[in-house]
Amino acid sequence: MIKYTLGAFFTLYIALAWSNGDTQTKYKTENVIIMIMDGPRYSETWGDSTHQHIPHMANDMAEHGVVYTNFRNNGPTYTCSGHTAIATGVYQRIDNTGKKYPKNPTIFQYFLKATGKSRKAAYVIASKDKLAILTDTKKRKWREQYRPYSDCGVNGFRTGYRSDLETYKSSLEILKKDKPNLVLINFRQPDSWGHAANYERYLSSMKKTDEYIYKIFEFIRIDPYYRGKTTIFVTNDHGRHLDGHKDGFVSHGDNCEGCRKINCFAYGPDFKKGIITDEARELIDIPITTAKLLNIEFNKKAKGQLMTELFVETK
């Protein structure tokens, strides 16, 4: 009898909750981490059926999330532009040396404004010092406000690039110590070895980056603070020229398929698992989806779309 009554109350509670007209979906995600392997071609990442240069993503990560086989940078295919697209949801031709902040406020600023959290709740971590541009905007109403913490290059703007090993170690330290909720991490080495025209190192550094990304992925899945409530995106800022086009894998920056087509993997408590999708998606969809998961307002001018296919259908 008691059991029956409790059941009835529970049913009533659910019915009332529904009739409230509250359509706000509560996601399990409380943290989002976006990791970027700078500048590998799709043909050497997921597009290579042996996945020899990204073994962890293929063998240890893919089964836990969603892999995209039709993902693109549809804006300028340079590092600062690619990262700006991920951070602002808007494609912008922006100086590639780190002299300018993006035109639009970043997702980090929207997050800090919406939550009122301390600056350390959002973090930009990068091997390339110039990516500290992602910590602010030129937009007057937002300039110098709600700025995330950053750990970029040797010691911030104009101090030079550092190794991915240092970035990896620093990322883990920051995650353990400051427990930020929204983080972007850039690993530069595949791009740097590409520009150095060293194909062997370009490939081997890809494998190394795959390992760093996997170790952070595993940390997130085990750590008591992050596990079960953290979404991870792994992508690239751009690809590189196709073989036979200009100088091939050495450079990037145009409209060729090699520069446009990139890799993307998404994992999280609200996402499906073990899926490979050919849904056409692009860089600017990542911040839109991130804002939705974190339940924060985002730039109305951002053109990206919500990556609906990722979500587990709620009954």
Enumerate binding residues for Zn ion (CB under 5 A).
Answer: 38-39, 79, 191, 237, 241, 254, 256, 259
What is the CB-side half-sphere exposure of residue 199 using CA atoms within 13 A?
5
Rounded to the nearest angstrom, the gap between the alpha carbon of residue 211 and the centroid of all alpha carbons in its chain is 17
Q: What tokens does 103 get?
A: 């035109």
If the CB atoms of residues 82 and 105 are measured against Zn ion, the closer one turns out to be: 82
* Beta bridge pairs of residue 234: 35, 265
Q: Nearer to Zn ion by C-beta: 79 or 127?
A: 79
What's the min distance (Å) between Cβ of 257 and Zn ion? 8
| Minimum CB distance to Zn ion, residue 122 (Å) | 22
Shorter beta-carbon distance to Zn ion: residue 161 or 265? 161
**CB 146, min distance to Zn ion, A:** 26
Minimum CB distance to Zn ion, residue 248 (Å): 9
- The distance of closest approach from Cβ of residue 190 to Zn ion in the complex, given in angstroms and rounded to an integer, is 9
Q: Identify which of residues 211 and 254 has a Cβ nearer to Zn ion in the complex.
A: 254
Residue whose CB is less far from Zn ion, 79 or 84: 79
Show the DSSP H helices in the chain as ranges.
Answer: 2-19, 55-56, 79-88, 107-115, 164-177, 189-195, 199-222, 257-260, 285-293
Question: Residue 250, Cβ neighbours under 10 Å: how many?
Answer: 16
CB-wise, 82 or 268, nearer to Zn ion?
82
Half-sphere exposure of 5 (CA within 13 A, CB side): 2
From first CA to last CA, the distance across the chain in angstroms is: 29
Buried residues in 24-61 as b, exposed as e (16+ CB within 10 A):
eeebebbbbbbbbbbbbbbbbbbbeeebebbebbbeeb
Smallest gap, in angstroms, from Cβ of residue 172 to Zn ion?
A: 23
